[in-house]
Amino acid sequence: MRLYTYHRSSASYRVRIGLEWKGIDREDRFVDLGKGQQLEAAYLEENPEGRVPLLVDGDVRLGQALAILEYLEEKVPEPPLLPKDLAGRARVRQLALLVVADIQPLQNTGPLVYLGEALEVSDPLRFQWYKHWVHRGLSAFEAHLARDPATGRFCHGDAPTLADVCVVPQLVNWCRNAGGDLSEWPHLARVFEACQALEAFQRAAPERQPDSPDAPPQA
Amino acid sequence: MRLYTYHRSSASYRVRIGLEWKGIDREDRFVDLGKGQQLEAAYLEENPEGRVPLLVDGDVRLGQALAILEYLEEKVPEPPLLPKDLAGRARVRQLALLVVADIQPLQNTGPLVYLGEALEVSDPLRFQWYKHWVHRGLSAFEAHLARDPATGRFCHGDAPTLADVCVVPQLVNWCRNAGGDLSEWPHLARVFEACQALEAFQRAAPERQPDSPDAPPQA
């Protein structure tokens, strides 16, 4: 499979975790969002949404991280990233979407740039916006984890699922931008630690990617 | 099943379409977002996210419209809202997520209110923000429909799917707020018309809901 990715993109990060977890080999194509390459004509030909990640698997050409993860789950079911029972699958998808639909879109680079350039919102107020939406969303996520007996070592039970795959990049983003304190959210902090101990999550991390300035030397 | 809903909420609208399409009876509980009832303690006990829709089905208590729709699809497979083939399912989910993750979160009431109240963005600039993100997203949606031979009478083939279920409320929202002209997006306009001819879509419309001031008299 071929993955169009950017090291700092948290949506790409989700898909990298999913591919690593399932042991799927990939060929990376790097799209430098810092240089706006996602909006260049050559890339828009690949993905008219002008976003990463994009997965190409034979005739399948697929954007939207969560759609890619559901596709991988159906194509390569083991090891799973969704539980088998209906209620569990629904809960995991709800938690994943809390990140994908309620947090990440609002704190993504595009809206933050638009706030500054088009709406002339000051940097401190843009940071307030970032913190407001991420804090609100992660607090709701924590409330779900705290009140539901289905929470285990990971967000749902004792193995990682799409919920962990989606929330870990959001937590990494929060730590990078807002000082790294997760003590307000003890369940999230514990799940984060459990995920970060897994090789699949480690290998997918931004600083491990070849397009990162922090990448380790290639063999 | 019990649905916590609000007539003008486009996420609730998606779930109403799904329930109507599958012929699932429901009992409505109305949450008046105009009065902020979604943030009252009694409702936060039901859903700590402070959002509608929320579906309660026995022991299952589920937020996030797309997670609810996937749950309904697994619990009541017929008539389907996802194709059977892997590539088709992936494409439909990508289109659904283009609305759910890229358009709707940015133009939702919460962010628009926050722009005005916390960031002191003027009304004309808030409207510019609304139009920017909806226009960008619907244009990307149109590009997918235009270039992919899998597009049929509906977004994917000749029966409605989750892609139609998600995009129709967004189009209704655009028509209500931005004048109703879809001529720039001919494929979307055609799909919209095909959907609006279906009884399930009609019955789910905001103005048909009992909590709408435009609701028809109850029998």
Q: Quote the Cα angle for A199-A204-A205, to 5°.
A: 100
Asked whether the beta carbons of residue B90 and residue A60 sit closer than 8 angstroms, the reply is yes
Amino acid type, B9: S
Asked whether the beta carbons of residue A71 and residue B60 sit closer than 8 angstroms, the reply is no
Q: Residue for token digits 């049929």?
A: B152
Asked whether the beta carbons of residue A49 and residue B93 sit closer than 8 angstroms, the reply is no
Can you tell me the distance from the alpha carbon of B45 to that of A147, in angstroms, rounded to the nearest whole number? 10
Amino acid type, A41: A
- The token duo for A129 is 């916006």
- Smallest Cβ distance to B105: which of A86, A101, A128? A101
Asked if B142 and B187 touch (Cβ cutoff 8 Å), the reply is yes
Q: Which tens digits make up the pLDDT trace of B86-110?
A: 999 999 999 999 999 999 999 999 9
pLDDT of B219 higher than 70: no
Asked if A94 and B67 touch (Cβ cutoff 8 Å), the reply is yes
Asked whether the beta carbons of residue A50 and residue B144 sit closer than 8 angstroms, the reply is no
Please tell me which residue of chain B has the smallest CA distance to A49.
B140
Please tell me which residue of chain A has the smallest CA distance to B140.
A49
**Omega before A53 within 30 of 0, i.e. cis:** yes
Q: Which helix (H) or strand (E) holds B54?
A: strand B54-57
- Chain B neighbors of A51, CB-CB under 8 A: 102
Q: Please give the DSSP secondary-structure letter assigned to residue B157.
A: B
Residue B128 confidence class, pLDDT cut points 50, 70, 90? very high
- Chain A neighbors of B90, CB-CB under 8 A: 60, 62, 67-68, 70-71, 74
Distance from CA of B41 to the nearest CA of A (A): 14
- The token duo for B20 is 């109507």
- Distances in whole angstroms, Cα of residue A214 to Cα of each of A12, A29, A206, B25, B111: 17, 18, 9, 55, 34
- Smallest Cβ distance to B60: which of A87, A102, A114? A87
- Chain A neighbors of B49, CB-CB under 8 A: 98, 102, 140, 144
Beta strand residue intervals within A35-76, DSSP E: 54-57, 60-63
Please tell me which residue of chain B has the smallest CA distance to A120.
B121
Residue extent(s) of CATH 1.20.1050.10 domains in chain A: 86-202
Distance from CA of B129 to the nearest CA of A (A): 8
- Quote the mean pLDDT of chain B: 96
Q: Please give the DSSP secondary-structure letter assigned to residue A83.
A: -
The total of other beta-carbon atoms located within 10 Å of residue A46's CB is 18
Can you tell me the distance from the alpha carbon of B101 to that of A64, in angstroms, rounded to the nearest whole number? 9
**ipTM associated with this complex:** 0.97
Task: Write down the pLDDT at residue A115.
Answer: 97
Non-local (6+) Cβ contacts of B120 within 8 A are: none
φ/ψ (deg, to 5) at B52 = -110, 160
- Chain A neighbors of B93, CB-CB under 8 A: 64, 66-67, 70-71
Please provide the size of chain A in residues. Answer: 219
Q: Quote the Cα angle for B85-B89-B92, to 5°.
A: 140
- How do the pLDDT tens digits run along chain A, 219 residues long? 999 999 999 999 999 999 999 999 999 999 999 999 999 999 999 999 999 999 999 999 999 999 999 999 999 999 999 999 999 999 999 999 999 999 999 999 999 999 999 999 999 999 999 999 999 999 999 999 999 999 999 999 999 999 999 999 999 999 999 887 899 999 999 999 999 999 999 999 999 999 999 888 765
> What CATH number is given for A86-202 in this structure?
1.20.1050.10
Q: Which CATH architecture has domain B86-199?
A: Up-down Bundle (1.20)
Asked if A215 and A209 touch (Cβ cutoff 8 Å), the reply is yes
Q: What is the pTM of this model?
A: 0.97
Can you tell me the distance from the alpha carbon of A79 to that of A161, in angstroms, rounded to the nearest whole number? 10
Sign of CA dihedral B105, A172, A121, A117: negative
Residue extent(s) of CATH 1.20.1050.10 domains in chain B: 86-199
CATH tag for A2-79 (out of 3.30.70.600, 3.40.30.10, 3.20.10.10, 3.20.20.150): 3.40.30.10
CA atoms within 13 A on the CB side of A145: 26
Distance from CA of A207 to the nearest CA of B (A): 26
Mutant choice from A57, A93, A170 vs B, greatest count of B C-beta within 10 A: A93
Mean pLDDT of B149-164: 98
CATH tag for B2-79+203-208 (out of 3.40.30.10, 3.40.50.2300, 3.40.50.300, 3.30.70.20): 3.40.30.10
- Smallest Cβ distance to A97: which of B66, B111, B140? B66
Asked whether the beta carbons of residue B48 and residue A144 sit closer than 8 angstroms, the reply is yes
Helix axes A162-178, A10-21, angle to 10 degrees: 140
Q: Which tens digits make up the pLDDT trace of B41-95?
A: 999 999 999 999 999 999 999 999 999 999 999 999 999 999 999 999 999 999 9
Distance from CA of A218 to the nearest CA of B (A): 34
Asked if A177 and A103 touch (Cβ cutoff 8 Å), the reply is no
Amino acid type, B40: E
Distance from CA of B5 to the nearest CA of A (A): 17
Residue extent(s) of CATH 3.40.30.10 domains in chain B: 2-79+203-208
- Chain B neighbors of A129, CB-CB under 8 A: 114, 118-119
Distance from CA of B200 to the nearest CA of A (A): 23
Asked whether the beta carbons of residue A129 and residue B143 sit closer than 8 angstroms, the reply is no
